[in-house]
Amino acid sequence: MRIGIIGAGSMGGILARHLAKRGHHVAIANSRGPESLTALAAEIGATPVSVVNAAQAGEIVILAIPTNAVADLPKALFANAPGSVVVIDIGNYHPELRDGRIAAIDRGMLDSQWVAQQIGRPVIKAFNNIFAKSLLEKGAPKGTKGRIALPVAGDSLDTKAAVLRLVDDLGFDPVDGGDLDNSWRQQPGTPAYCRDLEAAALRRALAEADRSRIAECRAEQEARIKRQIAALSGAESL
């Protein structure tokens, strides 16, 4: 397939690497322009392009940038892309660690609903709840015992089916996470978030998620990470 990836950091780079290795035609972009991606793209067999060209490059376009950066994307980015293009949002809202406050999300809008509103296109939420290291190292052939499962949430069944196939292609058991209204079940602060679960355990975790506790659990998680970062930088300056 032709796949455009916007974002070439930890997640975008790994997705590009895996997808190119499987024979997909990958076009990849970042904020600094294609020249800055020449070496990475050559190494992984992708084409470095501008953000605008990445949005028009594929049957699938993956958004792999910080959530707050979505608001900085060019206006009408997808205006000339065919309606059939599948947009995958892999992002997570991290207000204290990275994104700052996004009022609409704080008021209760789901992360991916906000992204869809910003870009003016429906999105499918996937790959947001696996750490980059697991995505890089833990894909396995279908049928492998302990194969990690990943949820896919979105409103269009056809579009979601394409992403479920992509998840499988990349070495993970695809699990239908329901429509986009249910995508909070795989956001940060839920039991399904970044725990490398098998399919049955993932389905249980999605079902057991408690929407009323997400903000609280996410804040606890962010505070924990901040403490870890502070401890590490303290140790380094000793």
Ligand X SMILES: NC(=O)c1ccc[n+]([C@@H]2O[C@H](COP(=O)([O-])OP(=O)(O)OC[C@H]3O[C@@H](n4cnc5c(N)ncnc54)[C@H](OP(=O)(O)O)[C@@H]3O)[C@@H](O)[C@H]2O)c1
Q: Which residues bind ligand X (CB under 6 A)?
A: 6-12, 30-32, 51, 64-67, 69, 72-73, 90-92, 128, 131-132
d(CA 238, CA 235): 5
Which pairs count as long-range contacts for 112-119, CB under 8 Å and 24+ apart, including other chains? 112/153, 112/180, 112/183, 113/180, 113/183, 114/67, 114/70, 115/63, 115/67, 115/70, 115/89, 115/91, 116/87, 116/89, 116/180, 118/70, 118/71, 118/73, 119/63, 119/70, 119/73, 119/77, 119/78, 119/87
Query: Between 40 and 161, whose beta carbon lies closer to ligand X?
Result: 40
Angle ∠(95,19,119) on CA atoms, nearest 5: 40
Query: Between 7 and 191, whose beta carbon lies closer to ligand X?
Result: 7
Handedness of CA 84, 59, 51, 108 (dihedral sign): positive
Provide the minimum distance between the beta carbon of 124 and ligand X in the complex, in angstroms, as a whole number: 14
Provide the minimum distance between the beta carbon of 89 and ligand X in the complex, in angstroms, as a whole number: 8
d(CA 173, CA 162): 14
Query: Between 39 and 238, whose beta carbon lies closer to ligand X?
Result: 39
Provide the minimum distance between the beta carbon of 238 and ligand X in the complex, in angstroms, as a whole number: 27
Provide the minimum distance between the beta carbon of 192 and ligand X in the complex, in angstroms, as a whole number: 12
Beta bridge partner(s), residue 215: none
Query: Between 104 and 157, whose beta carbon lies closer to ligand X?
Result: 104
Provide the minimum distance between the beta carbon of 126 and ligand X in the complex, in angstroms, as a whole number: 10
Q: Which residue is nearest to ligand X (CB)?
A: 9
Place of tokens 């870890």: 228
Query: Between 6 and 119, whose beta carbon lies closer to ligand X?
Result: 6
Query: Between 35 and 158, whose beta carbon lies closer to ligand X?
Result: 35
Provide the minimum distance between the beta carbon of 149 and ligand X in the complex, in angstroms, as a whole number: 15
d(CA 37, CA 50): 10
